[in-house]
Amino acid sequence: MDPIGNIIDLAFERRKRGPRFNGEMMQILEVSRDLICLCRGGAITAINGAGARMLGAKTTEQLIGRRLAEFLIPEYGQVLDLFLSGMASEDRGVPTRIVGLDQAVRDIELQVFRAREIATDATVVTGRDMSKEGKLAGSAHKTDTRFHLLVDNSMNLVCHVVGGSIRYVNKAGIALLGATEAEQVIGLRLEEILHPDYADLIGDIAKEGAAVPLRLLHRDGSAFDALVRLTELPAGGMGTELMVEARDITGHNRAVAALRRSSETLEMRVAARTRELAEQHARAEEMTLVAEAALRFSESLIDTIPSPVWFKDALGRVQTSNRAFRALFGDGEPKLLLPLEDTVTDAELMSGACDQASFEAPILPPSGGRLDTMVLKSAYLDDEGRPVGVIGVLTDISDRKAMERELRRLATTDSLTGAFNRRHFLAAAGTELERANRYGNPLTLLMLDVDYFKSINDAHGHGTGDDALRRLVEGLRHALRDIDVIGRLGGEEFAVLLPETGMAGALITAERLRAQVADLRLDLPDGGQLAFTVSIGIAAPRAEDGSVEAVLARADKALYRAKDEGRNRVCAEVVDPD
């Protein structure tokens, strides 16, 4: 018989109507490393060598006639009976556990095929040894268990955060957050364990990947200092995953503060000792050496402080400074760079009017740029309590000031056009109205409205409408003075305040604005261009006006008159003959 031809025939028959076997197939499958046996009524009638070894036999003869089910542990006996009776599918394996003749336990994936060509009760059983995979899985489980034990017994807080919620926290984290059990922490939002000042910085900290000092919250609401690292984990399908590590640095910060106080105290003692040495000539040389050594230690100590620190004597001369101070001011005289408040507060401290002073001021270092700073100063007193010098510390608050300026801009500006928003415009206009009434200066107010703005949105989309409003405000800025105020009152309605401008000048300005807007062209996505116009109403304050709203109301009436008369025109308020 030709084995190759037989295998090809078997493959063809398998594709046509399922697996088919005959007695000689066992000889071909003897080379397989998997268990392959032929059963009749559940009893083994033929088995290959690999199968004999899996079932713990030394020869195949030990297995002939034995039921395959007797090798399975009891839980799988009924399953195999169903397979052997042909009541199970032939195209999927079932994981089982067997006990061989050698009493060895093995995990085997069995698959049963009906061998109708041999006999109606004949089946062919194949099995693959899964013991190695099981051991690997067990080893992985042990490794995972050990990893969890290491994390759970870490000295620092470790949290697993999924989609912004805490899913796991170790023992150290429970204690650090002032909780008694994990359930008090699991489920909280990450923001709930952060001090509110830092809650908005989570995304930036995670991207940076470095450990940063933050303030965390105990469950009772009290805050503490911690060094925190947020590590973004690979996405697992449940949202953004973070690993949070934190270490309490409250004690460390206290130690640093104590060291700084110690440094300041040491410097004061050195200065006092230096004055004493000047009066004690007999021990001048010995005590000078001691003072120089102490001064070197003090200077090296305060040189580690990142903020500029200095000491001025009673004449205002800088006697001691740290590395940060020298790097900022170079060899120049600091009083030429610091504002007038520095000289004033020095005088107040030396006169005894106050013990401490502080102020915020921008400075322009010799290296270029600008720094927003906070200066903290205190009087240095001698042993008799008299001020003999000034100690100063400068802190860079540029980032905070930049954030404050941005917040002010966002609070007063329309985000779409860059014009002042309604609330800020009304406040600025109210201030200008009071000034005009007090000094009798002229003042006028323009109301502008884009003609047929709804048609622009309907025909070209709201994006094009937004572009038109932005171009309108850009055009107004180029055509107006720096002292003129532009505000967006709502939708396509704008207002312009013209200080020091009477009605005649306002008419000229309004007509110039109207013509300039009419000349604007907005490029469209389809290659075309869009032109649009505005109608403008003008009003000036009157003696009886108690608020800006009254002037706005008259300008609004003039605006609607301009629309009624055909749009793309300027109309001034109608003044009663009385």
List active site positions.
492
Residue among 51, 14, 45 nearest 31 (CA): 51
Query: Which two tokens mark 447?
Result: 């109301």
Quote the CA–CA distance of 518 and 254 in Å, as a whole number.
Answer: 67
Quote the CA–CA distance of 74 and 425 in Å, as a whole number.
Answer: 86
Angle between helices 548-564 and 422-439 (to 10 degrees): 110
Query: Which two tokens mark 561?
Result: 């008159």
For 183-201, letters b (16+ CB in 10 Å) and e give eebbebebeebbeeebeee
CB–CB of 389/271 below 8 Å? yes
CA dihedral (324, 326, 327, 333) in degrees, to 10, reads: 130
Quote the CA–CA distance of 440 and 377 in Å, as a whole number.
Answer: 46
Quote the CA–CA distance of 216 and 198 in Å, as a whole number.
Answer: 9
Ranges of H-type helices in 413-525: 422-439, 453-460, 462-479, 503-519
Query: Which two tokens mark 250?
Result: 């409250």
Q: What residues contact 438, with CB distance under 8 A and at least 6 apart?
A: none
